[in-house]
Amino acid sequence: MDRQLVEVSKNILVTSLALKQEDTLLVVADLEKKELAEAIQKAGLAIGAESLLMVMKEREKDGEEPPTPIAEAMRGADVVVCVTEYSLTHTEARKRAAASGARIATMPGITADMFLVGAITADYGQVQVLTEQVTRVLTTGHTVRIEKDGHSLSFSIAGRDGISSTGVYRNPGESGNLPSGESYIAPVEGTASGKIVVDGSIAGIGKVSGPLLVSVDKGRIIDLEGPDADQLLDMLGEGDGRLLGEFGIGTNDKARITGNVLEDEKVYGTIHVAFGSNRTFGGTISAGVHIDLVVHEPDVFIDEAKILSKGRVTIQP
């Protein structure tokens, strides 16, 4: 096992999750990510914590629930790290574990390269400050308008709370991605209308083959134009997977567009929209799927105030 992976894992467990000797650490993995998960478990043991590893078969899509024994074990642990090909972030298992007081980091699709360079090397103190600043604007906002390449998508966020994914999860019930750096919110269902150009990446597909034009009416995708359209529609299915479930803004200046949405959606100045489940972070959609679409350098307005200008955050402190 790569010694460097173990050392990086120790740093993550201590600085991001405040793992202590008296804690119980649970590492959840699938067969695809077992080697990385073993490095995290070994790091937990080196710290002196009771460290368990549970390996399941690979899920079929983001947002699919883990098996019941793993979900129950997550609820009983102090710290949970999910190292899986497909995301467990927007699952009921993650939500219930956090409600039970677990500190949780999810790492869907993470690679050895992402462990050592890019977003994970950020100054998470700085990331936390910017992320929480953006989250406050989302929480107090009522309407969002995204403009790019002559197209516009608008929706309501009234009454919804923004969520900070800072990379720092040291208190009971805190959870989010690692690497991290995003602020996100659940748009009000049924309010989204317009079109958006996706030119970054798509979860489960990678970097887009060419610009994808997404048309939305009453919160639901009504048309897709672009080379990845058919594959995305197949992943979302015919039902509530086509509903707009998330709007997020990247806040990590070390993150790169790699084709892996775990890092891509954290890139400073990008935004992402996701279709599918959002019930775990303030919405009402339970679709069994959650697919993020990353957009480069848009203009973003909240209540008509410009907060993002072609990839630059313009929020005043």
* 82-94 pLDDT, tens digit each: 999 999 998 999 9
Mean pLDDT of the region 167-196: 95
The predicted structure's pLDDT at residue 45: 98
pLDDT band with cut points at 50, 70 and 90 for residue 1: low
82 contact partners, CB below 8 Å, separation of at least 6: 28, 29, 88, 89, 94, 104, 105, 106, 107, 108
pLDDT over threshold 70, residue 317: no
pLDDT band with cut points at 50, 70 and 90 for residue 120: confident
The CATH code of the domain at 3-116 is 3.40.1830.10
pLDDT over threshold 70, residue 250: yes
Q: Percent of the chain scored above 70 by pLDDT? A: 99
Tell me the average pLDDT of the chain. Answer: 95
Mean pLDDT of the region 293-307: 97
Higher-pLDDT residue of 28 and 317 is 28
pLDDT band with cut points at 50, 70 and 90 for residue 311: confident
The predicted structure's pLDDT at residue 275: 98
The predicted structure's pLDDT at residue 17: 95
The predicted structure's pLDDT at residue 124: 86
pTM above the 0.95 mark? Answer: no
Q: Percent of the chain scored above 90 by pLDDT? A: 87
Start-end ranges of CATH 3.40.1830.10 in the chain? Answer: 3-116
